[in-house]
Structures are given as structure tokens and as C-alpha cells.
Amino acid sequence: MALLGGQCLSRTDIENIHEATLNILEDTGVSIGYQPALEAFRKAGARVKGERVYLSRKIVEEKIKEVPVKFTLHARNPEKNITVSRNSFLTAPGYGAPFVTDWNDEKRTASYADFENFAKLAGASKYLSMTGGNLVEPVDISDKIRHVMMQYACIINSDKCFMGSSYGQKKAEDSVKMAQILLGPEHKLDEKPALISLINTITPLVIDERQLGALMEYAKAGQACIVASLAMAGATSPASLAGTLAVQNAEILTGIVLAQIVRPGAPVVFGSTSSITEMKYGSLTIGAPETALIVTATAQMAAFYGIPCRAGGTLTDAKCVDAQAGWESMMNLLTAERSGINFVLHSAGILEYYMSMSYEKFIIDEEMLGMVLRFRRGIDVSSESLPLDMINKVGPGGHFLDQDHTFHTFKKEFWRPDICDRGTYDRWRTEGCLTAKEVAQKKYNNVLAEYQPTVLDPITDRQLKVFIDSL
């Protein structure tokens, strides 16, 4: 396992934040806007007053114990199954952006065609672990079938795992039905889950009907959920990062406890996309160093509870693919890896604080992902990697370029870039002075032209289409 690098909280800090969280849960409570959820909390012994649920230390501690430390998600190609655990570092593309920023930096509304393109790029990616979920919001598809159309595009364009809809109980149920059709009637979906879905709280301390309906439906069906909070420190949570961590913690634990009430052992992930408020505008900013601190602290809090966690990604506030997009994205991706985040949504394509997706950024982010994955692999120290005989043979003043050891080692030891230019100035000039963005554009066009997804068998394909038509 990779050795981790990032910590920002001491053991005492973690315990203090945990205690503050328990105080919030017991004294302030969380607003739960869904009758079946209130009923479930009440039955489990929680204090419920109107729509407010108050969780005691006992319930929280008991239910957290039920959370599985790892679970496997099943893809249509079993080789692409992924295991979410306390040691994993899994990645999925950007999620939920309603816009696409094009080559000329113009922003436009995202369409289903964009969705299909991003599904293909994710399917073709050698680094991304999953196809993803709401790769963009295809606003040209009616709300009624948008969730299943998105899922269909994920299925048809890639054989990797994908995400379910979190837009309410009914749409979650549809997502589960689609997964069942895909994996066949013999597949015991509740024991071998296929879906992971993103359940977002509304900070501060609210979870709405839609997200709760989906959470309960997925828990019932044994499918995984990421329960995530997006607190904007200073606006929707305290301006102090510790206070923000306590508020987000209360929300996440409430969702996780509910999943365990519905089904003990339901697979869940402790999630955060919290950051600070840009006080110049009162708006969200995610490229801030405070984001990276919250990512790190989220990993530490989740480790304290022993629950797999999600945070970070190639996060930026930049409006186009520029240097700011690069430095902010790399900080937040590398931080996620270093601090022990297990599942990284928004690993490719995001611009402008989750608002937009970019094709060029997607390719450049994959390059960053390649670098970070190499970093994660660390340094192998063994008799083979300490070749004393060869060092002795080459001796002072010699070179290693023509040695067997070099020949057999360099390809596995060195990561190969696809975008980074490492040549000389003159070579770069003769080849047309291409910027990273230009190289990325070329690459994504090539991928879209050449990528052949594994063909889905026609019977399953037809069944999926019939199901969609029946809605």
C-alpha cells in the first residue's frame, strides 16, 4: 500500500471535531424532509420533532460500526469491477455540470451529445476507474427520462462501473432496474452491487426528500451511496474550517446512519466537497488552499470512523484551460491521493467550481491523474532496485543507458506522459509550438474518432431500450 503524506489534524483535533459533531446531532439536529426517513429514524430510537431528527451518541456509534470497510462494485465487464476500501484510490470524471466550455472558451448549455462524448472519453481512459454519473446535465433531454438516458449512455459507451440517479426514490428504483437488466436476472444485485450514487445534503443541516428517497431506495437494494456535504465556509457553515468540518460531519453521519438503519451493512462512502466562500462575491470557490485542507481533514475524519471516503478531484475555479486550472487541479488531486481519499469524483474535466466541463481539461486532467498514480506507486526498494553488481561494473564515470537492468527497468519505473512536452525548444518549434491545450484537443478528437467500446449484447441492449420506452 502507498504510504500517505498529508495530515492536518492531530488526534486531539479529530476527537474535538467528533465531540462537536455529536453535540450538533443531539442539540441542533438535522432537518429531514421525507416522511419515510423520519419514520425510520423514529423506529430506530432517534428523537424526532416535526421534521427535525436528533441523533444520540449511542445511535451514531452503533450504526457506524455496521458500515462495511470495503465493498466491490460490479461492472458489465468483470475485469472492470472496482473495490472501494480504506486503501483504494478510485477515480471518476466530473459530475453534474450544466455547461460545457468549448475550445474557444465560450460556455454553452450541455447536451446529450456531450454526455455521450464524455462517456466515451471515460470508457477509453487508461486511468479513470469508472465511467461516472451525471458527466454533464443533458438539458436537452426531458427530466422524466434524463436519468435513464444518462445511464444508457454510460452503459453503451463503456464497460466500466457507472453511477445511479439520486433524483428521488422513483429514479433510484429505475437506476437499480437498469443495473439488473444489464447484469442479468441471475445476478444477485443486493449482494453484489453495481451502482454507487451521490447523495448530497443541503448545508447547513438539511437533507431533502429527493436525496433521502434515493438514499433509502439504494440502501434497501444494497447499492452504494456517497453521502456528501458541500459546505461553503462563511456562508452555509461557520467561517472557521473546524466549525465547517463539524457541520459537514453531522450531515454526512446522519445520511450514513439512515442507510444503516434501512439496511445494516449498506455500502456507504463518507463524502465532502466543502470549501470556502469567496467573500468578494458570496460565491463558492474550490481551487483554494482551504479546499485542500478540508479534503485532508475529511480523509482523517473518515479514517477515525473507519469508513471509505470521497473528496478532492481536479478542482478549479478557472473559466478556461489555463495555468490557474492546472495549478488548482493538481493541488486538489494530489492532496486527495496523499491524504488517503479512497474515491475521487470530479477527477477529469471540471472548470469553474463544478459549473462547466471541458474536453481539453478532461484530457489534461487525465495526464495529472497519470502523474499522481505514479506518485502513489512510490519507490520500490529491493535487491533488484539496488543493483550493486551493475553499479560496481559501470563504475565511476561510466553510464547506465546500455545496461540490461536499465533496459528491463525504465518502462515500469518511469511514467510516460501523453501531453507534457519534454523535448528541446527547437524540436517544439519545428513541431508547431503546440500548447498543452492544443495537444489535448488533438488527443480527445483522436480518442472520439478511434475508440470502440466493447459492444453490448443486442438482447440486453433491446431490454434496456424497452425499459426506457416504458417510462
Partner 1 sequence: MAGFEELSKGVIGGNQAKVKELTQRLIDEGAEPLEIINQGLIAGMSIVGARFKNGEMFVPEVLMSAKAMGSGLEIVKPMIADADMPSIGKVLLGTVKGDLHDIGKNLVGMMLESGGFTVINLGIDIAPEQFVAAIKEHNPDILAMSALLTTTMLHMKDTIELLKEEGLNDKVQVIVGGAPISQDFADEVGAAGFAPDAASAVELCKRLLN
82: its cell numbers: 472496482
Q: Which of 36, 234, 238, 264 binds partner 1 (CB under 8 A)?
A: 234
Of 105 and 418, which CB lies nearer to partner 1 in the complex structure? 105
Cα distances (angstroms) measured from residue 288 to each of 8, 95, 245, 272, 356:
16, 19, 16, 15, 18
Supply the DSSP symbol for 439: H
Contacts of residue 75, defined as CB under 8 A and 6 or more positions apart, other chains included, come to 81, 82, 159, 160, 161, 194
Of 349 and 370, nearer to partner 1 (C-beta) is 349
Question: Which of 307, 452, 440 lies closest to 367 in space, CA to CA?
Answer: 440
Instruction: State the minimum distance, in angstroms, from the CB of residue 234 to partner 1.
Output: 7
- Of 107, 170, 319, 405, the one binding partner 1 (CB under 8 A) is 107
Which of 334, 405, 349 is CA-nearest to residue 118?
A: 349
β-pair partners for 72 = 83
Residues in region 186-225 near partner 1 by CB under 8 A: 202, 206, 208
Q: Would you count residue 279 as binding partner 1 (CB under 8 A)?
A: yes
Site string for partner 1, 235-264 (x = CB under 8 A): xx--x-------------------------
Residues 128 and 142: beta-carbon distance below 8 Å: no
Q: Segment 27-56, which members bind partner 1 (CB under 8 A)?
A: 33
Q: How far is the CB of 192 from partner 1 (least distance, A)?
A: 31
* 95 is a contact residue toward partner 1 (CB under 8 A): no
Q: Write the interaction track for partner 1 spanning residues 281-310; mark x where CB under 8 A is met and - where it is not.
A: xxx---------------------------
CB burial class (10 A; 0-12, 13-18, 19+) of residue 60?
buried
Nearer to partner 1, 11 or 280 (CB): 280
Q: Is the Cβ of residue 123 or residue 138 nearer to partner 1 in the bound state?
A: 138
CB 337, min distance to partner 1, A: 28
Inter-residue contact 308 to 288 (CB < 8 Å) = no
280 binds partner 1 (CB under 8 A): yes
- Reading the block at residue 221, the C-alpha cell is 437494494
Give me 95's grid cell.
Answer: 459530475
Per-residue three-class SS string for 278-342: ECCCCEEECCCHHHHHHHHHHHHHHHHHCCCEECCCCCCCCCCCCHHHHHHHHHHHHHHHHHCCC
Show contacts with partner 1 in window 348-367 (CB under 8 A): 355
Which of 27, 79, 143, 426 is close enough to bind partner 1 by CB under 8 A? 143
User: Residue 97 or residue 161: which is nearer to partner 1 going by CB?
Assistant: 97
Positions in the binding site for partner 1 (CB under 8 A):
33, 98-99, 107-109, 137, 139, 143, 146, 167, 202, 206, 208, 232, 234-236, 239, 277, 279-283, 355
